[in-house]
Amino acid sequence: GQSLEQPSEVTAVEGAIVQINCTYQTSGFYGLSWYQQHDGGAPTFLSYNALDGLEETGRFSSFLSRSDSYGYLLLQELQMKDSASYFCAVRNYGQNFVFGPGTRLSVLP
């Protein structure tokens, strides 16, 4: 089967940099996606890695290493509004989407 693992919680202060890791066990997938979800809200797309390496989108960057079965989301210049849950997800070759359990990020003043 497929499974993704993420830390359940991460805490950081405003202006800091935080890295949210995602490790996975899956036989094959197209790419690794990241979604943000604020309390009571819907998930919103953040980033996608089809290939190994770093993708940068503003303050957010995402990294994938297929050989290490590992990826991460890097958030820079943290702001209070970044407090949310972050999910990694893959679409496996069976066309099913698998989401990680989510990491709750708390940004402190």
**Binding residue (CB under 8 A) for another protein from 73, 100, 105, 107:** 100
Is 7 among the residues that bind another protein (CB under 8 A)? no
Is the Cβ of residue 13 or residue 25 nearer to another protein in the bound state? 25
Is 81 among the residues that bind another protein (CB under 8 A)? no
Is 33 among the residues that bind another protein (CB under 8 A)? yes
- Compute and round to an integer the Cα radius of gyration of the chain: 13
**Binding residue (CB under 8 A) for another protein from 75, 89, 105, 107:** 89
CA–CA gap between residue 29 and residue 81 (Å, rounded): 31
CB distance 72 to 100 below 8 Å:
no
Phi, psi (rounded to 5 degrees) for 105:
-100, 125
Residue 92 identity:
N
**Binding residue (CB under 8 A) for another protein from 39, 42, 58, 81:** 42
